[in-house]
Amino acid sequence: MRIPVGILGATGEVGQKFVLNLQEHPWFEIVGLYASKRSAGRTYGKALNYGEETSRWFCAGEPKRDILDIQVGNVDEPDEGIDLFFSALPSEAALDVEGKIAKKKPVISTASAYRYFDDSFVFLPGVNESHAGMIKIQRERRGWKGFVVPQPNCTTIGLAMSLKPIYADFGLRRVIMVSMQAVSGAGYEAVGKWAEQRKIQGIELPRPLEEFIPNTFEGNVIPHIPKEEEKVKRETLKLLGEFDGERIKQASFQIACKCNRVPVLEGHTESVFIETERKCGVNELKESWRKYRGEAQRLNLPSASPHPIVVKDEVDRPQPRFDANTEGGMCVVIGGVESNVFENGFQYTVLSHNTELGAAKGAVLAAEYLLKTGWI
pLDDT of residue 21: 96
* 57 lies in the same domain as 91: yes
Average pLDDT over residues 13-34: 95
pLDDT of residue 268: 98
CATH of the domain at 291: 3.30.360.10
Count of domains observed in the chain: 2
Domain presence at residue 45: yes
pLDDT of residue 80: 82
Tell me the torsion sign for CA atoms 340, 343, 344, 350. Answer: negative
* 142 lies in the same domain as 168: no
What's the mean pLDDT when you consider all of the chain? 95
pLDDT of residue 267: 97
Domain presence at residue 307: yes
* 61 lies in the same domain as 8: yes
Q: What is the pLDDT of residues 262-304, one digit of tens each?
A: 999 999 999 999 999 999 999 999 999 999 999 999 999 999 9
Q: Does residue 38 have a pLDDT over 90? A: no
Domain presence at residue 242: yes
Query: What is this structure's pTM?
Result: 0.94
Domain presence at residue 187: no
Cα angle 212, 218, 223 (rounded to 5 degrees) comes to 60
Average pLDDT over residues 229-257: 96
Catalytically active residues are 154, 268
Q: What percent of the chain has a predicted confidence (pLDDT) above 70?
A: 100
* 178 lies in the same domain as 312: yes
Q: Does residue 77 have a pLDDT over 90? A: no
Alpha-carbon distance of 59 to 357, in angstroms, equals 15
Residues 52, 26 contacting (CB under 8 angstroms): no
* 163 lies in the same domain as 127: no
* 75 lies in the same domain as 94: yes
Alpha-carbon distance of 91 to 95, in angstroms, equals 7
Q: Does residue 79 have a pLDDT over 90? A: no
pLDDT of residue 185: 93
Q: Does residue 346 have a pLDDT over 90? A: yes
pLDDT of residue 277: 97
pLDDT of residue 140: 96
* 170 lies in the same domain as 260: yes
Which band of pLDDT confidence, cut at 50, 70 and 90, is reported for residue 115?
very high
Average pLDDT over residues 212-236: 96
pLDDT of residue 238: 96
Alpha-carbon distance of 308 to 301, in angstroms, equals 12
pLDDT of residue 130: 95
* 161 lies in the same domain as 282: yes
pLDDT of residue 172: 98
* 35 lies in the same domain as 93: yes
Beta bridge partners of 271: 178, 349
Average pLDDT over residues 112-125: 95
Domain presence at residue 293: yes
* 29 lies in the same domain as 53: yes
Specify the DSSP element, H or E, that contains 249.
Answer: strand 248-249
CA-closest candidate to residue 125, choices 148, 157, 153 = 157
Residues 367, 86 contacting (CB under 8 angstroms): yes
pLDDT of residue 36: 87
Least confident piece of the model among 56-60, 270-274, 349-353: 56-60
Domain ranges, residue 291: 154-182+221-352
Domain presence at residue 213: no
CATH of the domain at 42: 3.40.50.720
Which band of pLDDT confidence, cut at 50, 70 and 90, is reported for residue 76?
confident
* 147 lies in the same domain as 287: no
Q: Does residue 87 have a pLDDT over 90? A: yes
Q: Does residue 248 have a pLDDT over 90? A: yes
Domain presence at residue 215: no
Domain presence at residue 74: yes
* 91 lies in the same domain as 173: no
